[in-house]
Amino acid sequence: MIRWVAVIFIALTIFPFLLPGLQKLGAWHVPGDVRFKLFDQILCLPFGSTLVVSTLAFLAAKLLQ
């Protein structure tokens, strides 16, 4: 169980850095994501995307058991 928590933590740590690249490709326009501009820099808080990724990781873990 602790392995999956570590994998999810690492994925959620890396995910915000991948989000701008995914948005350029037209992916991950989830309604729960918050984007705003602060000091000429666009900040993303991927709440909705985090829920989607966590749900997919949970389902994958259940299927692999």
Q: Where are the domains of the chain?
A: 2-64
At residue 29, the pLDDT reads: 66
At residue 33, the pLDDT reads: 79
Judge whether 47 and 60 are in contact, CB under 8 Å.
no
Cα separation, 17 vs 54, in Å, equals 17
Cα separation, 14 vs 7, in Å, equals 11
3-55 pLDDT, tens digit each? 878 887 887 788 778 777 776 776 656 777 788 888 888 777 878 878 887 88
16-26 pLDDT, tens digit each? 787 777 767 76
At residue 26, the pLDDT reads: 64
The model carries a pTM of: 0.52
